Amino acid sequence: MEIINRRQRMSSVVRKLRRDGSGERTIGLVPTMGALHEGHLSLVREARRRCDYVVVSIFVNPAQFGANEDFAHYPRRLTQDTAMLTDYNVDYIFAPTNDEIYPRGFSTYVNVEGLSNEFEGAARPGHFRGVTTVVALLLNIIRPDFAYFGQKDAQQTIVIKRMVRDLAIDTEIVILPIIREASGLAMSSRNASLNAEQKQAAAALYAGLQAAERAFSSGEHSAKRLSDIVRVNIAREPGVQLEYVAITDTEAMRPIEKLDNDHDALVSLAARVGATRLIDNIVLSPAKRPRTPSS
Ligand code: AMP
């Protein structure tokens, strides 16, 4: 495994990989901000299974943090991360400095209009512009055949798929399921800033989503009533302040009023537990619902 810090070197390494050897060689990219956990590793495992070469990028991207956010305090653990990725047989870690990604005079940004301003984008102005810009750069530098992302960041997956489609970027975006702690709490690098009590309280997020899933399975179609179920359940946990719960389609995050038997619906939420902001989501699939003879 080699750790690469410079974008020029990263580009020339992958160019060679693609040319070397007989026949087609596939390259998989797993973009991360480091402080790796099982969620990230599930992406790495799948990339390893499917691709000839695996690149994991580790870059805490300043452009996706707001002025009042936790950029300075975001966990950075390159030594530990490197040890983990060695065990997973990763070929390259791309760990650039800020200057390497945003050199002096950098002035070109990628923005997916509309959806980037909704939900997470409304709560975090400029966040998705930062995400799409850095992901576009990574895809340009590495030109992977596949890039792996987690359903944990549901809106991010939708925004990135849109960008790749709109800009005709030749990479297949692969989305993998959310990995959770035993309590149901979605794994996140930010969980490290929760104390034991807060961690326990944070489990209420998934419990709320599961309550909605149960109601949906028993035939509840109303998005309003389903989101109320999430709200009421989470409100029972005083340690959690819910910011929003949204029920939307899964392609463009358009709000839904009534769920139907033909389309998946995405229930996504954000909440604060102490000073830590957490997100979670669940997909309600018609396949999970008992169908009546007439439906
Ligand atoms: P981050 O380091 O938070 O930018 O995450 C890097 C990638 O890992 C993103 O595609 C995330 O969606 C994904 N990821 C983070 N947490 C999880 C999780 N609990 N389960 C699955 N994927 C995750």
The enclosing domain of 209 has a CATH number of: 3.30.1300.10
40 included as an active-site residue? yes
Do 37 and 162 lie in one domain? The reply is yes
Which residue, by CA, sits nearest to atom 8 of ligand 1? 40
What's the number of CA atoms in the CB half-sphere (13 Å) around residue 97? 5
Residue type, 29: L
In a domain, 183, yes or no: no
Question: Is the residue at 25 inside a domain?
Answer: yes
CA-based R_g, the chain, Å: 20
Is the pLDDT assigned to residue 293 strictly greater than 60?
Answer: no
Asked whether residue 72 is domain-assigned, the answer is yes
4-23 average pLDDT score: 92
Please state whether 137 falls in left (phi above 0), alpha (psi between -120 and 50) or beta: alpha
Asked whether residue 259 is domain-assigned, the answer is yes
**What confidence score (pLDDT) does residue 233 get?**
98
Domain match, 27 and 137 both: yes
Same domain, 165 and 267: no
Are 37 and 124 part of one and the same domain?
yes
pLDDT band at 295 (very low <50, low <70, confident <90, very high): very low
For 132-144, the pLDDT digits (tens) are 999 999 999 999 9
**pLDDT for the residue numbered 288:** 54
pLDDT digits (tens, 9 = 90+) for 272-284: 999 999 999 999 9
The answer, yes or no, to whether residue 34 has pLDDT greater than 80, is: yes
Whole-number pLDDT of residue 291: 54
> Average model confidence (pLDDT) for the chain?
96
The Cα 263–Cα 166 span in angstroms is 23
How many Å lie between the centroid of ligand 1 and the Cα of residue 188? 7
Do 95 and 218 lie in one domain? The reply is: no
Residue whose Cα lies nearest atom 11 of ligand 1: it is 150
- Per residue in 49-87, pLDDT tens? 999 999 999 999 999 999 989 899 999 999 999 999 999
Ligand 1: distance of its center to the CA of 191 in Å?
12
Provide the number of structural domains found in the chain.
2
Which residue has the least CA distance to atom 12 on ligand 1? 150
Average pLDDT rounded to a whole number, residues 205-226: 97
Cα of 219 from ligand 1 centre, angstroms? 31
- Domain extent at residue 252: 189-286
Nearest CA to ligand 1 atom 6: 32
Which residues does residue 247 pair with via DSSP β-bridges, in sequence order? 267
Whether 293 is covered by a domain: the verdict is no
pLDDT at 153 over 90: yes
Confidence of residue 290 (pLDDT cuts 50, 70, 90): low
295 within some domain: no
- Per-residue model confidence (pLDDT) at position 261: 87
Q: Which residue has the tokens 């000073």?
A: 275
Strand ordering across the sheet containing 53-58: 2-4, 92-94, 53-58, 27-32, 146-150, 172-176
Task: Provide residues with CB under 6 Å of ligand 1.
Answer: 32-33, 39-40, 42-43, 149-150, 152-153, 178-179, 186-189
Q: Which residues pair with 265 in a beta bridge?
A: 249, 284
Catalytic residue among 37, 40, 73, 221: 40
Question: 128, 155, 176: which is the final residue of a domain?
Answer: 176
How many whole angstroms from 6 Cα to the centroid of ligand 1?
A: 24
Percentage of the chain beyond pLDDT 70 is 97
| Same domain for 137 and 213 | no
